[in-house]
Amino acid sequence: MTRKTHHVPAEGVETTFRVRYAETDGQGIVYSSHYLVWFEIGRTEWCRRAGIDYRKLEEEGYLLVVTEATCRYLSPARYDDEVVVRTRLASGNRRQLQFDYDLRLLTTGKRIATGATTHLWLDRAGKPIVLPTELRRLFEV
């Protein structure tokens, strides 16, 4: 029996936000590192939609760390653009997860970036852990 109460569509979860001026750089476009923060926004919403409160998971001692991140920058994003990030759980087992991301401008639908992150579950001491079955089911593809 799983405590998963929400349905996460296989094609992923979408969330929208506006580009902050702070995220632009001297080239007038968003600086590369912020896309990794936007991936985090996507993951947080994926979790929420899946009925997972990630903040609570951390309080219970399950920490999801990033072990690899990759981003392909296809077209620039600018201040005040509305960006839609679609987040999909690509794979998951008791030890690791992989999410992938697809970012588009809301108004034009133009794809601006794609990316992926891989993650490992650690305890507070930084040791890899095996997720209990009940939790593991929440991160099933």
Binding site for a second copy (CB under 8 A): 17-18, 20-22, 24-29, 31-37, 40-41, 44, 54-55, 58, 63, 65-73, 76, 78-80, 117, 126
Calpha distance 58→63 (Å, rounded):
5
Answer left, alpha or beta for residue 125, where phi above 0 means left and psi between -120 and 50 means alpha: alpha
Tell me how far, at minimum, the Cβ of 120 lies from a second copy, in Å: 9
Task: Phi first, then psi: give them for residue 123, nearest 5 degrees.
Answer: -90, 175
* Residue closer to a second copy (CB basis): 65 or 130: 65
* Residue closer to a second copy (CB basis): 16 or 91: 16
* Residue closer to a second copy (CB basis): 1 or 52: 52
Calpha distance 73→111 (Å, rounded):
9
